Amino acid sequence: MSSINSVVIGGYPRMTEFMNVSPNYAIVRKFGTLGMIKLLQLQAEITQLQRDLYRTISNDISSDDDKRKAYHKDWVELSRSLRPGGDNKQWKQYQKIRRALDKYSESNHYKHL
């Protein structure tokens, strides 16, 4: 045990020491309702990002630029959009979507569904 036994300390230090030694007595909130709100907000955000991406893809396909026309089906060409002078809007949107999906997938509430 830690040095907490040699000094009389109450409050959170004492309680957490007890919870650490006896995990069956640990009582912590899960904040389930707030977690579900977070998931729903992330879903809405991802849905909007998806709409924005599809709009950009549609615009790129309609473009006069043959490279932009290929972005939605050619990852190499899309990655080249990062070069100076490239139109990297679609690339940036994919990056935003990845970050949002990572947040969504890492959510504790998502893992328990």
pLDDT tens by residue, 4-41: 555 667 888 888 888 888 778 888 888 889 989 999 99
Q: In this structure, are 48 and 74 located in the same domain?
A: yes
The pLDDT, as a whole number, for residue 1 is 47
From the list 27, 29, 42, the residue with the least C-alpha distance to 107 is: 42
Q: In this structure, are 15 and 37 located in the same domain?
A: no
Q: Mark 22-43 as b/e (b = at least 16 C-beta within 10 Å).
A: eeeeeeeeeeeeeeeebbeebe
Give tens-digit pLDDT for 89-113: 999 999 999 999 999 998 877 777 6
Report the C-alpha gap between 61 and 68 in whole angstroms: 7
Q: In this structure, are 23 and 37 located in the same domain?
A: no
Total number of domains constituting the chain:
2
3-state helix, strand, coil in the chain (%, to 5): 70, 0, 30
Report the C-alpha gap between 80 and 66 in whole angstroms: 13
Average pLDDT over residues 73-81: 96
- Domain of residue 12, residue span: 1-30
The pLDDT, as a whole number, for residue 81 is 95
